[in-house]
Amino acid sequence: MKETRIYLLRHAETATPHVFHGAESDVELGTRGIEQAEAAAEYLSCKGVTRTCSSAMRRALQTAEPISRSCNTSVEVIPLLHERKVGPLSGTCNQKKEGIWPDTLMEWKKGNIKYAPEGSESLACMQDRVFPVWNSLLQRHSGETIVVVCHGMVIKVLLLGILPGWDVSRWDEFGPVPNIGITEMVFSEQQYKVIELNKVPS
């Protein structure tokens, strides 16, 4: 079976990068984010990309659009790749070391993946939403070279679930997913091989 090459990346920086933007916030890219999206487009332009896919959220679409132009593809919109619903965290500072998010993450790392504060999405719900969509995407575009633009939480949950040797207990070890961090993978014979993890084009 011919291998499928995947460039999975987080959207570029938003106009307000220091607050939580979940599925509730359809924020645009900021000036720096627009520059980052162009840098990602230039980096990917010579990779033989045959398909560009994106979450339906504005920040992902604005990142995917210059990539699709540079790679001469259209943008396939996949709404279920939207960011996690964060409920009461939406619009609050994302730098706090105590509070709802650290408590949520602690529960997840202990194995309580169904835990979620009221109005937000649990890890288990994210897995149920994202994994079927991801598997369908790979089936539809088997043998292609695809770019998938989505969101930091989606990417982390996905990679911790599909990469051999990783799981949610190693969340901190995996580290953050930076804006326009690109993970290049090859999928073949039902196995993933990571070529590069979270590369940020300059």
CATH code of the domain containing 161: 3.40.50.1240
Exposed, middle or buried: residue 98 (CB in 10 Å: 0-12, 13-18, 19+)? Answer: exposed
| Beta-bridge mates of residue 93 | 19
Q: What is the pLDDT of residue 2?
A: 85
Contact 12, 189 (CB under 8 A): no
Residue scoring higher pLDDT (121 or 93): 121
In this prediction, residue 1 carries a pLDDT of 63
Position 96 confidence tier, pLDDT thresholds 50, 70, 90: confident
Bridge-based pairing of strands 4-10 and 182-188 is antiparallel
> How many domains does the structure of the chain reveal?
1
14 or 97, which is more confident:
14
Helix 123-140 vs helix 152-162: angle between axes, to the nearest 10 degrees? 80
183 close to 201: Cβ distance less than 8 angstroms: no
Q: Are 122 and 114 in contact (CB under 8 A)?
A: yes
84 in Cβ contact with 121 (< 8 Å): yes
Residue type, 115: Y
97, HSE (Cβ side, Cα atoms, 13 Å): 0
Contacts for 93 with CB less than 8 Å, ≥ 6 apart: 18, 19, 20
pLDDT score for 166: 94
Q: How far is CA 59 from CA 11, 30, 197, in A?
A: 6, 9, 21
Q: How far apart are the first and last CA of the chain?
A: 34
pLDDT digits (tens, 9 = 90+) for 102-124: 999 999 999 999 999 999 999 99
pLDDT in tens, 156-176: 999 999 999 999 999 999 999
The pLDDT tens digits for 34-91 are 999 999 999 999 999 999 999 999 999 999 999 999 999 999 999 999 999 999 999 9
For 170-202, how does the pLDDT look when each residue is reduced to its tens digit (9 = 90+)? 999 999 999 999 999 999 999 999 999 999 998
Domain of 106?
4-199
